[in-house]
């Protein structure tokens, strides 16, 4: 690939930034080191109170491909949306500012997009934990994508794609598609990328998978990613399932993927429940129940991808009961419900 020059960028990379000064250089340096040189790097400082704003300006002064954006703190969604709106390239990627990427990531994704004409190109990723033993810090994720159809396929026609970690940052999007959709902008929301990705998948006509991990997704204790949220912020997780559900229904796409979609929603809601304070469980379960309300009394829903105990979990929830913290907590509640089902009692 050529060296940076005045030619129009081929890919715009959006980086939302807030309180990540210890990670930011590794992230941005990995983007600037891409073998695809014709990139635009949009660093969105979301009112960060640390040294990040100065670092953003430093990068912009040093490399003409970097665009510095400073805005009052409004949360992850507003930062990503501001970056996407500012992007000028025909393709857009988003990288979170505590992660980093392989040097060939955007060359490989862009090349696949050009070869196939796909609206979306997606890769796998590593889950990184610096506190894990040596040799176990990077763990490959989304190996299920190795079984995806070759070439190009419709994103809603292969169920495993719906059920996996949404990972907004492992996609390359056609800009015209990405600019049609917005990430949730609630400052208190968690897992805001879920509704965005599902709406993108519903609007896209084609996707191609690069079957190798190219992103290092940082996920370690105290680092503060979505799955670690506790307190009232975690209450937003079930609400995002409902937002994604309603977007799919509005676009007429929910019915064809509801078995896989609700399986994704179940797993995502369960993740946030693991660390939830006991006093918030009732409120959380009410929101969880609302997200799954369309399944209540629906005999056509087959729980195709749910294990027996996962199905019992959902049925117990829809019957008006709160869920235990994990599968193993308060097991007698689940046993009692199972017996009721076996002997025809009230659900």
- pLDDT digits 0-9 by tens, 119-136: 999 999 999 998 888 888
Say how many Å lie between the first and final Cα of the chain, rounded: 63
Window from 168-172, 268-272, 280-284 with minimum mean pLDDT? 268-272
The mean predicted confidence, pLDDT, of the chain is 90
Q: Which residue has the tokens 């308060």?
A: 330
**Res 158 pLDDT > 60:** yes
**Res 194 pLDDT > 70:** yes
Which pLDDT belongs to residue 170? 98
Which pLDDT belongs to residue 188? 59
Q: What is the dihedral of CA 240, 243, 248, 252, to 10 degrees?
A: 160
Tokens of 114: 């050009």
Cα–Cα distance measured from residue 91 to residue 103, given in angstroms and rounded to the nearest whole number: 17
Tokens of 102: 């392989």
- Band (pLDDT 50/70/90 cuts) for residue 331 is low
Which pLDDT belongs to residue 229? 55
Of these ranges, 200-214, 216-230, 297-311, 317-331, the one predicted with the greatest mean pLDDT is 200-214
Tokens of 45: 């400082």
DSSP of 55-123: HHHHHHHH-TTEEEEEE----HHHHHHHHHHH--SSEEEE--TT-EE-TTHHHHHHHHHHHH--SEEEE
227 exposed, middle or buried (CB, 10 Å; 0-12, 13-18, 19+)? middle
Cα–Cα distance measured from residue 31 to residue 99, given in angstroms and rounded to the nearest whole number: 10
Tokens of 272: 């946030």
DSSP of 238-281: HHHHHHHHHHHHHTT-HHHHHHHHHHHHHHHHHHHHTT--GGGH
Which pLDDT belongs to residue 119? 98
Which pLDDT belongs to residue 226? 45
Window from 5-14, 107-116, 244-253 with minimum mean pLDDT? 5-14
Which pLDDT belongs to residue 1? 43
Window from 217-231, 289-303, 308-322 with minimum mean pLDDT? 217-231
H helical segments located in 156-253: 159-163, 175-178, 193-203, 236-250
Cα–Cα distance measured from residue 214 to residue 99, given in angstroms and rounded to the nearest whole number: 11
Give the model confidence (pLDDT) of 203-254 as tens digits: 999 999 999 999 999 988 765 544 445 678 888 889 999 999 999 999 999 9
Q: What is the dihedral of CA 219, 179, 213, 126, to 10 degrees?
A: 0
Average pLDDT over residues 64-90: 97
Q: Which residue has the tokens 């129940």?
A: 289
Which pLDDT belongs to residue 220? 80
Taking Cα atoms as reference points, which of 199, 178, 301 lies closest to residue 250?
199
**Res 75 pLDDT > 50:** yes
Average pLDDT over residues 63-87: 97
Average pLDDT over residues 319-335: 65
% of the chain residues with pLDDT over 70: 88
Residue 127, beta-bridge partner list: 139, 217
Strand, helix or coil at 122? strand
Average pLDDT over residues 41-55: 98
Which pLDDT belongs to residue 342? 60
Which pLDDT belongs to residue 2? 43
Tokens of 193: 């990328």
**Res 343 pLDDT > 80:** no
- Band (pLDDT 50/70/90 cuts) for residue 169 is very high
């Amino acid at each position: 690939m050529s060296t940076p020059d005045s030619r129009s960028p081929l890919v715009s990379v959006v980086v939302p930034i807030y309180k990540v000064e210890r990670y930011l250089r590794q992230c941005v340096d990995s983007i600037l080191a891409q073998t695809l040189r014709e990139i635009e790097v949009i660093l969105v400082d979301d009112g960060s109170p640390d040294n990040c704003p100065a670092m953003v300006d430093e990068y912009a002064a040093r490399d003409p491909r970097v665009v510095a954006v400073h805005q009052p703190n409004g949360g992850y969604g507003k930062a990503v949306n501001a970056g996407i709106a500012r992007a000028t390239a025909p393709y857009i990627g988003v990288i979170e500012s505590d992660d980093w990427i392989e040097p060939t990531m955007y060359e490989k994704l862009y090349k696949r997009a050009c070869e196939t004409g796909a609206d979306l190109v997606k890769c796998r990723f590593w889950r990184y934990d610096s506190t894990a033993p040596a040799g176990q810090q990077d763990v490959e994720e989304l190996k299920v994508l190795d079984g995806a159809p070759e070439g190009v396929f419709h994103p809603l026609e292969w169920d495993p794609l719906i059920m996996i970690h949404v990972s907004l940052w492992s996609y390359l999007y056609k800009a015209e598609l990405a600019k049609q959709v917005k990430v949730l902008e609630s400052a208190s929301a968690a897992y805001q990328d879920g509704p965005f990705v599902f709406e993108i998948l519903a609007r896209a006509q084609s996707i191609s998978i690069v079957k190798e991990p190219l992103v290092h997704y940082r996920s370690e204790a105290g680092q503060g990613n979505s799955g670690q949220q506790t307190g009232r912020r975690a209450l937003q997780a079930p609400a995002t399932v409902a937002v994604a559900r309603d977007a799919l229904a509005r676009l007429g796409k929910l019915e064809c993927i509801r078995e896989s979609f609700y399986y994704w929603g179940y797993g995502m809601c369960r993740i946030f429940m693991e660390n939830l304070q006991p006093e918030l469980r009732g409120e959380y379960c009410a929101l969880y129940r609302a997200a799954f309300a369309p399944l209540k009394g629906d005999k056509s829903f087959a729980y195709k991808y749910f294990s027996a105990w996962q199905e019992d979990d959902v049925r117990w929830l829809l019957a008006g009961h709160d869920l235990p913290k994990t599968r193993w907590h308060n097991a007698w509640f689940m046993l009692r419900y199972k017996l009721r089902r076996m002997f025809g009692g009230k659900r």
